[in-house]
Structure 1
Amino acid sequence: MASSDDLIKYITQRVVSYMGTPKEERRRRMAKEPWSTRWFGMLPFSMSLWKEDVVEKTRKRRRR
């Protein structure tokens, strides 16, 4: 485990770099993620990809 001096140094560096960035840039970086991703992770995204794949396959079968 890191010593307390290393931890204090790391925290100080993070705070100084945060204070050094302009407000507009800090706001831009903190983009809000969708609630579905925040609550359920990648599950909704993977299910949507799966659904698109199934729909595409059924459309191809109907065209034949």
Structure 2
Amino acid sequence: MASGGDDLVKYITEKVVVYMEDPKASRERRKAEKQPWSEKWFGMLPLGWSIWRSNWARNSKK
């Protein structure tokens, strides 16, 4: 029976091999397609807050 350490080494090795065999352009495209962490973790809240703040700043200048 394989121990947990052997499984971990096998998993990490598989991930590294897949990463190394993947063309660089593909990795860069996938990285560019990622959404910002603020939207990932907080959804539309940062966007709504920034719109509210910009409208508030614009209205206060009048």
Unpaired stretches in structure 2, ≥5 consecutive residues: 49-62
Poorly superposed stretches of 4+, deviation over 6 Å: none
Unpaired stretches in structure 1, ≥5 consecutive residues: 48-64
Q: How does the TM-score come out when normalised to structure 1?
A: 0.54
- The CA RMSD measured in Å over matched residues stands at 3.0
Q: How does the TM-score come out when normalised to structure 2?
A: 0.55
Where does residue 12 of structure 1 map in the other structure?
A: 13
- Structure 1: distance between partners of 2:8 and 2:28: 26
Name the % identity. 48
Where does residue 37 of structure 1 map in the other structure?
A: 39
